[in-house]
Structure 1
Amino acid sequence: MRAVQVTGYGDLDKLEIVEKPIPEPKSNEVLIEIKACAINNTEIWMREGAYGTGTKSGWRPEGVQFPRVPGSDITGRVVKIGSEVDESKLGEDVVLFPFTSSGKAGEEHISDDMSFIGSEYDGGYAEYVVWPADLCYEMPLTDYIDSAVFSVSGMTAWHMVEQIQAKPGETVMVTGANGGVGSLNIQIASKVFGANVIAIVGDLALADKMKELGATHVLSYKSDNLSEEILAVNGGPIDSVLDVVGDALFSTSLQVLKKGGKFCTSGSAGGQKTELDFRTMYLKHITLYGSVLGTREDFKKMLNAISEGKIKPVIDRTFPLEQAREAQSYFKNSGKLGKIVLLP
């Protein structure tokens, strides 16, 4: 099969197109013919070594074992099953829950042995992949590409909104609102949990698109008076922030949060380190949440909401598998709207 593998930590030249054997499913696994694989920050940061230091970077302490086929947002068709798998699984169109874990229900994502597809296992930048049968779910939509854009970013977004316990009538600010996680944060917070959403983007030409997703107000982080604008459109401080930017908007977020407000982050595209005046946090009784991925229950709730039409796919463009380097490069451009998808 054709595959794209990462040969080590580094730049785009560490992505190589190779021919390798089609994997064989173990007794509890299935072989999936991959139809679509959406791109996430996680496989770029895995390649760049951003999850650790020196030669040890990855979801696990030992670091990634190279070469590794990246990619975690996978849809496809089951074409072969292991000896312990029910025959009804054969031929099923599936979306993959993206990690294994021995953690108990509700804590799978924080278990020490959590291992991620595309990092600890070969992933979706390929024509085939093997995966445990019980982690393969029925696709929520009939289209492979549409169904491929939710797994990691959607579960992350869903868990973030669960963390802050968003309620109808509350105001939630979403940073990086035009990205994969941000565009889903808008939809989940507004259309599933009933909150009002202030979407923060760079280009206000995206305002109409943001409002279609469920945003009440759309503001630009390029404004010289962003804090004042947020307070003005909301008529006062906001309830919560869902953040994927990090340092660039951290100070602004704490300024506009109400007393008792909540700040939840799952990314740091705008800077991985920041300054915090602890007095702001404790005098305003602010709660900080770190959040990434989610639980199997989060995943199932998300798939149900997608199948019910409450959450819709937002896709910027697709690339053929052979253009994985170009796709990852394009992914890092600002101003895109939604997900980038590789097609084997």
Structure 2
Amino acid sequence: MRAVQVTGYGNVDKLKVIDAPIPEPKENEVLVKVKACAINNTEIWMREGAYGTGSKSGWRPEGVQFPRTPGSDITGEIVKVGGQTDEAMLGKRVVLFPFTSSGEEGTEHISEDMSFIGSEYDGGYAEYVVWPADLCFDMPLSSYSESAVFSVSGLTAWHMVKQIHVQPGETVMVTGANGGVGSLNVQIASKVFGAKVIAIIGDLEGEERMKELGATHVLSYRSDSLQEEILEVNGGQIDSVLDVVGDALFSISLQVLKKGGKFCISGSAGGQKTSLDFRTLYLKHITVYGSVMGTRAEFKDMLNAISEGKIKPVIDKTFPLEKAKEAQVYFKNKGKLGKILLLP
């Protein structure tokens, strides 16, 4: 089969297209013929070493074992089953839950042995992948490509919204609202949980599309008066912030939050370190949540919401598997709306 491997920490030159043996499923695994794999920050940051503070970086303390095939947002068809797997799964069109864990139900995502497909296991930048049968779920939509855009970004967004306990009518500010997680934060907060959403993007040419996704107001982070504009459109301070940007908008986020407000972060593309006056937190009674992934139950709830049409896929562009380098470079460009897909 064709596959793309990361050969070590570094730039896109570390991505190599190779010929590899088709993997064999173990007893409780299935072999999936990959039909689509969406790109996430996770595999780019894994390649760049951005999750670590030293020489090792990955979801586990020991770092990534190279070479590794990345890719975690995967849809495909089950074409072979392991010895202890129900043969009725053959031919099923599935979306893959993106990590393994021994954590109890509801705490899978914070278990110490949480291991991610595309980082600790070979992932979906390939024509075939093996995965535990019980982590393969029916696709929520008929299209492989459209069903592939939700796994990591959608689970992350769903968990973020659940963590801050969004109530109908509350105001939620979403940063990075044009990206994979951000665009889903907009949809989930507004169309599933009934919040009023202020979407923060760069280019206001995307305003109408953001409003179609559920945003009430759309503002640009390039504005010199963003803080004042947020307070003006909302008629005062806001209830919560869903952030994937980090440092660039952190200070403004804290300033526009009301007393008792909630700040949830699941990314730092705009800066991984920041300065903080702790008085802002305790004098305003602000709750801060760190968020990565979510639970299997949340994954199932998300898939149900997708199948019911409450959450729509947003796809920016597709690339063939052999163009993984170009796809990752394009992914890092600002201004895109939605997901980038690799199609084997």
TM range, smaller chain: over 0.9
Q: 1:114 — aligned with what?
A: 114
Matches for 1:83-98 after TM superposition, within 5 Å: 83-98=83-98
Equivalents in 1 of 2:223, 2:285: separation in Å?
Answer: 27
**TM-score when normalising by structure 1:** 1.00
Query: Could you state the TM-score of these two structures normalised by the residue count of structure 2?
Result: 1.00
> Map of 1:272-291 to 2, 5 A cutoff?
272-291=272-291
Q: How big is each residue's C-alpha offset from its partner over 1:165-186, in whole Å with a ceiling of 9 and x where there is no partner?
A: 0000100000000000000000
Partner letter of residue 231 of structure 1?
A: L
Quote the residue 2:37 is aligned against: 37
Q: CA deviation at 1:244?
A: 0.2
1:309: which partner in 2? 309
**What 5-or-longer segments of structure 2 have no aligned partner?**
none
Task: Determine whether 1:140 maps to 2:143.
Answer: no
| Partner in structure 2 of residue 222 of structure 1 | 222
Deviation at 1:87, TM superposition (A): 1.3
What is the distance in 1 between the residues matched to 2:77 and 2:268?
34
Cα deviation code 1:39-62 (max 9, x no counterpart): 000000000001113331100011
The aligned counterpart of 1:25 is: 25
Which amino acid is the alignment partner of residue 235 of structure 1?
G
What SS class does the counterpart of residue 177 from structure 2 fall into? coil
User: Structure 2: which amino acid aligns with 1:125?
Assistant: Y
Alignment partner, residue 178 of structure 2: 178
Deviations 1:117-151, CA, capped at 9 Å, x for gaps = 00000000000000000000000000000000000
Alignment root-mean-square deviation, CA: 0.4
User: What's the CA shift for 1:162?
Assistant: 0.2
2:28 alignment partner AA:
N
5+ residue gaps, structure 1, are: none
Query: Aligned runs of 1:4-83 on 2, under 5 Å?
Result: 4-83=4-83
Q: What is the identity, as a one-letter code, of the residue corresponding to 2:126?
A: A
> SS of 2:230's equivalent?
helix
AA aligned to 1:106 is G
Tell me which residue corresponds to 2:191: 191
1:162 is aligned to 162
What is the aligned partner in structure 1 of residue 244 from structure 2? 244
Paired residue secondary structure (2:219): strand
Deviation at 1:16, TM superposition (A): 0.2
Percent identity over paired residues: 81
- Misfit runs of 4+, over 2 Å: none
Opposite residue 238 of structure 1, the aligned amino acid is I
1:74-111 CA-to-partner distances (Å, cap 9, x unmatched) read 00000000011111100000000000000000000000
Q: Whole-Å Cα distance in 1 between the matches of residues 33 and 86 of structure 2?
A: 18
Shift, 1:205, TM fit: 0.4
**Alignment-mate amino acid for residue 181 of structure 1:** V
